[in-house]
């Protein structure tokens, strides 16, 4: 049982992509995993999985109307997830302290409770960090992401959250990028993974399908597999490539859906 927050100072560095696809890999390999979309104002998880109707969400849990167990849904490979609502209607009633209670309840049932945080350190982001036992700090190998990552790392340390390390994402291996050793020296923590820039991740986002399903053997997924092994201490097998449900089929499906919606 472990609750892990995926935190970052700067937005858009890959918290949602990493937590969702890492969760899917662990679930595919027999772990009980639940992922909470704690970026309540933005609610990306439902969109990333193309879920259309969500009756009860984390927003209902934070407003005290429902227990967290009422907002748990089943995703691919048996991964469970707690989405946030697409509408911000109930946000004014949200009491972010309820997130900790929800995480504690889920910790009893799951091997891993992943918390996909909002970026920065406003109330919602802090609540996500305060709710977890452990953390990964997400960043890209550039000065602004690193500087903001350092602030988040310091916040987590002050709160006594155990930091697994930083995850550098969208790595191009360009000479202008900050090197791994320099990032470690600056942050004072290990880099747990260097995940490559991989256009398949963006293509998967555009198609609202996790890359772990669409293109499970791409460079991003191979590196994520190593991170999953490091975290779980077990051998991780990547999902099979499903040619029929690969990119071409998904592009056709999404056009068909668009066409249907327009009619």
Ligand X SMILES: Nc1ncnc2c1ncn2[C@@H]1O[C@H](COP(=O)(O)OP(=O)(O)OP(=O)(O)O)[C@@H](O)[C@H]1O
Nearest-approach distance from CB 150 to ligand X, in angstroms: 16
Q: Which of 3, 16, 29, 218 binds ligand X (CB under 6 A)?
A: 16
- The answer to whether 46 touches 180, Cβ cutoff 8 Å, is no
Options 24, 36, 161, 170; binder of ligand X; rule CB under 6 A = 170
Find the binding residues for Mg ion in span 28-67 (CB under 5 A). Answer: 39, 44
**Per CB under 6 A, which of residues 66..125 are in contact with ligand X?**
119
With CB under 6 A as the rule, give the number of residues binding ligand X.
Answer: 21
Among 14, 141, 149, 216, binds ligand X (CB under 6 A): 14
The correct pick among 50, 88, 133, 205 for binding ligand X (CB under 6 A) is 205
**DSSP string of the chain, one letter each residue:** -EEEEEE-SSSSSSHHHHHHHHHHHHHHTT--EEEEE--TTT--HHHHTT----SS-HHHHHTTSS-GGGG-EE-GGG-EEEPPPSS-TTGGG--THHHHHHHHHHHTT-SEEEEEPPSSSSHHHHHHHHH-SEEEEEE-SSHHHHHHHHHHHHHHHHTTPEEEEEEEEEE---TTSPPHHHHHHHHTS-EEEEEEP-HHHHHHHHTTS-HHHH-TTSHHHHHHHHHHHHHHSS--PPPPP-GGGSHHHHHHHHHHHHHHHH-
Binding of ligand X at residue 13 (CB under 6 A)? yes
> Binding residue for ligand X (CB under 6 A) from 159, 162, 202, 217?
202
With respect to ligand X, which residue has the nearer C-beta, 66 or 208?
A: 208
Q: Which of these ranges, 69-77, 86-94, 198-206, 233-241, lies near ligand X under the rule CB under 6 A?
A: 198-206
129, 195, 212, 213: residue in contact with ligand X (rule CB under 6 A): 195
Site membership for Mg ion, residue 16 (CB under 5 A)? yes
- Which residues of the chain form contacts with Mg ion (CB under 5 A)? 15-16, 39, 44
- Which residues of the chain form contacts with ligand X (CB under 6 A)? 8, 11-17, 39, 42, 44, 119, 169-170, 195, 197-198, 201-202, 205, 220
């Amino acid at each position: 049982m472990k609750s892990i927050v995926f935190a970052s100072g700067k937005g858009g560095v890959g918290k949602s992509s990493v937590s969702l696809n890492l969760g899917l890999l662990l679930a595919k390999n027999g772990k009980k995993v639940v992922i909470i979309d704690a970026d309540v104002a933005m609610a990306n998880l439902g969109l990333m999985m193309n879920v259309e109707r969500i009756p009860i969400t984390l927003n209902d849990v934070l407003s005290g109307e429902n227990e967290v167990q009422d907002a748990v849904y089943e995703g691919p490979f048996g991964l469970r997830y707690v989405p946030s609502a697409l509408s911000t209607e109930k946000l004014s009633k949200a009491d972010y302290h309820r997130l900790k209670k929800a995480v504690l309840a889920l910790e009893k049932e799951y091997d891993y409770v992943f918390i996909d945080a909002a970026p920065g350190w406003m109330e919602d982001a802090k609540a996500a960090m305060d709710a977890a036992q452990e953390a990964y700090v997400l960043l890209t190998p550039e000065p602004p992401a690193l500087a903001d990552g350092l602030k988040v790392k310091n916040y987590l340390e002050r709160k006594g959250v155990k930091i697994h390390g930083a995850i550098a994402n969208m790595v191009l291996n360009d000479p202008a990028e900050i090197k791994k050793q320099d990032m470690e020296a600056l942050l004072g923590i290990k880099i747990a993974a260097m995940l490559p820039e991989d256009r398949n991740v963006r293509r998967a986002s555009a198609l609202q399908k996790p890359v772990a399903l669409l293109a499970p053997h791409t460079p991003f997924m191979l590196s994520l597999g190593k991170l999953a092994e490091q975290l779980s201490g077990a051998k991780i097998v990547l999902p099979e490539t499903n040619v029929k449900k690969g990119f071409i089929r998904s592009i056709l499906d999404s056009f068909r859906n668009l066409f249907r919606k327009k009619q």
